[in-house]
Amino acid sequence: GAVVSQHPSRVICKSGTSVKIECRSLDFQATTMFWYRQFPKQSLMLMATSNEGSKATYEQGVEKDKFLINHASLTLSTLTVTSAHPEDSSFYICSASVRASASYNSPLHFGNGTRLTVT
Amino acid sequence: TQLLEQSPQFLSIQEGENLTVYCNSSSVFSSLQWYRQEPGEGPVLLVTVVTGGEVKKLKRLTFQFGDARKDSSLHITAAQTGDTGLYLCSSGGSNYKLTFGKGTLLTVNP
pLDDT score of A108 more than 90: no
**For residue A102, how many other CB atoms are within 10 A of its CB?**
11
Q: What is the mean pLDDT of residues A92-106?
A: 68
Residues of A whose CB is below 8 A from B102:
42-43
The angle at the Cα of A7, spanning A6 to A12, to the nearest 5 degrees, equals 130
C-alpha Rg value of chain B to the nearest Å: 13
pLDDT score of A57 more than 70: yes
Among chain A residues, CA nearest to B88: A43
A58 touches chain B (CB under 8 A): no
Residue B45 CA to residue B37 CA, distance in Å, equals: 9
Residues from B in contact with A at Cβ < 8 Å? 30-31, 33, 35, 40-45, 48, 50, 86, 88, 90, 92-98, 100-103, 105
Considering chain B, what percentage of its residues have pLDDT values greater than 70? 95
Render pLDDT for B43-68 as a digit per residue (tens, 0 to 9): 999 999 989 999 999 999 999 999 99
Residues of B whose CB is below 8 A from A32:
95-96
Residue A76: the pLDDT is 93
Asked if B46 and A105 count as a contact pair (C-beta separation under 8 A), the reply is: no
Q: What is the mean pLDDT of residues B37-45?
A: 92
What three-state secondary structure class fits B71?
strand
User: Any idea what DSSP says for residue A63?
Assistant: -
Tell me if B41 and A42 make a contact (CB, 8 A cut-off): no
Closest to A70 measured CA to CA, from A114, A20, A27: A20
pLDDT score of A4 more than 60: yes
Closest to A31 measured CA to CA, from A72, A67, A59, A62: A72
Residue B2: the pLDDT is 67
What residues contact residue A102 under an 8 Å CB cut-off, 6+ apart? none
**Burial group, residue B24, by CB count within 10 angstroms (0-12, 13-18, 19+):** middle
Closest to B36 measured CA to CA, from B80, B69, B95, B93: B80
Residue B82: the pLDDT is 95
Asked if B17 and B11 count as a contact pair (C-beta separation under 8 A), the reply is: no
A112 touches chain B (CB under 8 A): yes
Residue A72: the pLDDT is 82
Render pLDDT for A59-95 as a digit per residue (tens, 0 to 9): 999 999 999 999 888 899 999 999 999 999 999 999 9
